[in-house]
Amino acid sequence: MMPVERLLIEFLLTFLSRDELNAFLRSPQNTATLVGALIAVSGALLGAFLLLRGMALTSDAISHTVLLGIVVAFLLMVHGFRVEGDTSSPWLILGASLAGVGTVALTELLYRSGLVRQDAALGLAFPLLFAIAVILVSRFVDDAHLDEDAVLVGEIGLAWANTNSHCFQNCQSVTVTEDHPAAKMTRQCVNCRELGISPRDERAEFIEVCGNCGPYSPAQAWNAGLLDSEPALVFFPKSISVTLAMTLLTLAFVLLFYKELKLSTFDPALAKALGFRPGALNYALMALVSLVAVGAFDAVGSILVIAFFIIPPAAACLLTDRLALLLLLSPLIGAAGAVFGYDLARGLLFGFLPIADGIAFVNRLFGLDLVEEWDSSISASMVLMIFLFFLLAWVFSPRYGLISTALRRANSRRLFDDQVVLAHIHNHQFTAQAATELRVETLHLHFRWTQRKMGRVLARLRALNYIRIVSGGAILTERGEERVHRFRATMLEAHNMPASLA
């Protein structure tokens, strides 16, 4: 990981100065937004396929089980291998992802036994694993990086603080030994505990112990004041490299297997018949979903991450019918949610509308006394922004939105009204009943409409020059006749009947 990170930083340093880069990465907003956007992009790319395959809640399942993998791996690291627990360590990510995939296979086994339905298997197995993980966390883990709060919302706001340091110039690794001038030597009693005596006892034996000996990386050395001149350091947040790596991996997977994914999503039987092995592809997809869920755990926790999988593709699928566009739009929506989400958490909707004003308004409206200062969870706010974009898509989508659907319905209803009235007039004009059937004052009775509705329809038809009123009765104009004939012709054609019937 480190050499790749270094390459990336060197690449960035060709555009920016070192100070600019450090300043950029040191800002919580930039790092949080970047991490959030990367999670959103990788989640949305995979989520699009999950959504189309009707497996959206599998991401929920995986994110729950992955928590258990993380906790167990974390406990193993701390108690088994005696290393510092780090939830962004590649080994932990790998192990926890495997746990995710394994559990998906396990539920499949459970509901194939035929005793439990699929939804019940999901609804039971995943809460259970989550429950065990939570019990483990609350009972056995005593660490700032892994507590119940981190499980829920992650720590994206602190992502900037957990960094790898890279040194570019003036690099000096220092190893402090016992004869180093900076070494802090202390006396320690070697046999006090054994004999149960106090250090003042005369039998006590002492050795000199070095309190701060050991190797120092350039950054640590500079912080400890062991260096005279400042090394050229870049502090690169670990979360960025983790999420960037998983985004690139996801992107590569989707680009490389685009054809196979598309085929096995829309027609698994054909994919199998053509020899594409949709089963293997499915498991690869699950593995990537687990990987993203683990990688995102640090930043957004294990529940909110499913929003990054499900909501952006759902919004995008209200906007387009094409898979390629879906794959383009959903990461965009997710990333936009991440960008605006940070502002929302800091109290600005869309970056300029202060939420405090909203709270003040609510206070005035209901006579309440709420604190007019909004400072909230960043990851939850990102999810809320994504949800807001979903709502916008739902209401305003040109093809499937509420508004356009309502307009289209109203339009076809109007068209239908016009057509039945025209057909009625066409059938009855120039017949013996014309005088009773077509009288404008009583026309609405034949349709069981209100008079107002009939008046509206007639006015429209007259405005369109389809009918005219002759001595209180409606008859078709030439244009109206033509309209009726055209309509009948198209209807006959649509129902595969000979045109001679017209």
Binding-site size, other proteins (CB under 8 A): 60
Binder among 17, 82, 139, 496 for other proteins (CB under 8 A): 139
Does position 66 interact with other proteins (CB under 8 A)? The reply is: no
Instruction: Determine contact, residues 141/74, Cβ cutoff 8 Å.
Output: yes
Does position 54 interact with other proteins (CB under 8 A)? The reply is: yes
Minimum gap (Å) between residue 314 Cβ and other proteins = 5
CA 56 to chain centre: 11
Helix 278-300 with 238-256: angle, nearest 10 deg: 160
Task: Using the minimum distance from each CB to other proteins, give the nearer residue, 148 or 441.
Answer: 148
Tally the C-alpha atoms within 13 A of residue 305's C-alpha that lie toward its C-beta.
37
Instruction: Determine contact, residues 167/6, Cβ cutoff 8 Å.
Output: no
Instruction: Determine contact, residues 331/44, Cβ cutoff 8 Å.
Output: yes
Identify the bridge partners of residue 176 per DSSP, sorted by sequence position.
214
Minimum gap (Å) between residue 313 Cβ and other proteins = 8
Does position 376 interact with other proteins (CB under 8 A)? The reply is: yes
Q: How many CB atoms neighbour CB 91 within 10 A?
A: 13
Does position 387 interact with other proteins (CB under 8 A)? The reply is: yes
Q: How many CB atoms neighbour CB 311 within 10 A?
A: 27
* Alpha-carbon span 256 to 270, nearest angstrom: 19
* Of 135-143, 233-241, 291-299, 412-420: span binding other proteins (CB under 8 A): 135-143
* Alpha-carbon span 125 to 127, nearest angstrom: 6
Phi/psi for 54 (5° steps) reads: 70, 30
By CB under 8 A, what part of segment 403-422 binds other proteins? 405
CA-atom Rg of the chain in angstroms: 34
Q: Which of 44, 473, 484, 467 is nearest to 289 (CA)?
A: 44
Binder among 132, 192, 232, 336 for other proteins (CB under 8 A): 132
Task: Using the minimum distance from each CB to other proteins, give the nearer residue, 368 or 463.
Answer: 368
Does position 322 interact with other proteins (CB under 8 A)? The reply is: no
Minimum gap (Å) between residue 350 Cβ and other proteins = 16
By CB under 8 A, what part of segment 329-348 binds other proteins? 345
* Of 225-233, 235-243, 363-371, 442-450: span binding other proteins (CB under 8 A): 363-371
Instruction: Determine contact, residues 479/466, Cβ cutoff 8 Å.
Output: yes
Binder among 39, 219, 254, 303 for other proteins (CB under 8 A): 303
Does position 311 interact with other proteins (CB under 8 A)? The reply is: yes
Q: Which of 109, 153, 147, 106 is nearest to 128 (CA)?
A: 106
Does position 365 interact with other proteins (CB under 8 A)? The reply is: no
Binder among 106, 370, 407, 459 for other proteins (CB under 8 A): 370
Q: Which of 390, 289, 376, 290 is nearest to 334 (CA)?
A: 390
Binder among 13, 56, 189, 197 for other proteins (CB under 8 A): 56
Beta-carbon contacts of residue 399 (< 8 Å; ≥ 6 apart): 319, 321
Does position 113 interact with other proteins (CB under 8 A)? The reply is: yes
Task: Using the minimum distance from each CB to other proteins, give the nearer residue, 51 or 242.
Answer: 51
Does position 92 interact with other proteins (CB under 8 A)? The reply is: no
Binder among 273, 371, 463, 499 for other proteins (CB under 8 A): 371
Does position 146 interact with other proteins (CB under 8 A)? The reply is: no
Tokens standing for residue 69: 């993998």
Binder among 7, 83, 106, 135 for other proteins (CB under 8 A): 135
Does position 51 interact with other proteins (CB under 8 A)? The reply is: yes
Task: Using the minimum distance from each CB to other proteins, give the nearer residue, 149 or 230.
Answer: 149
* Of 100-108, 243-251, 364-372, 449-457: span binding other proteins (CB under 8 A): 364-372
* Alpha-carbon span 238 to 479, nearest angstrom: 73
Task: Using the minimum distance from each CB to other proteins, give the nearer residue, 134 or 192.
Answer: 134
Q: Which of 401, 88, 107 is nearest to 236 (CA)?
A: 88
Does position 119 interact with other proteins (CB under 8 A)? The reply is: yes
Task: Determine the 3-state secondary structure of 116 from DSSP.
Answer: coil
DSSP state of 466: S
Does position 400 interact with other proteins (CB under 8 A)? The reply is: yes
Pairing of strands 214-216, 174-176: antiparallel
Pairing of strands 206-210, 467-470: unpaired
Task: Determine the 3-state secondary structure of 337 from DSSP.
Answer: helix
- Build a one-symbol-per-residue string for 251-290: x at contacts with other proteins by CB under 8 A, - elsewhere: ----------------------------------------
Does position 109 interact with other proteins (CB under 8 A)? The reply is: no
Does position 374 interact with other proteins (CB under 8 A)? The reply is: yes
- What b/e readout covers 231-265, taking b as 16+ CB neighbours within 10 angstroms? bbbbbbbbbbbbbbbbbeebeebbeebeebbbbbb
Task: Using the minimum distance from each CB to other proteins, give the nearer residue, 222 or 309.
Answer: 309
Task: Using the minimum distance from each CB to other proteins, give the nearer residue, 92 or 384.
Answer: 384
**Interface residues toward other proteins, by CB under 8 A:** 51, 54-57, 59-60, 113, 115-117, 119-120, 122-124, 127-128, 130-132, 134-135, 138-139, 148, 152-153, 303-304, 306-307, 309-311, 314, 317-318, 345, 366, 368, 370-371, 373-377, 379-381, 383-384, 386-387, 390, 394, 400, 402, 405
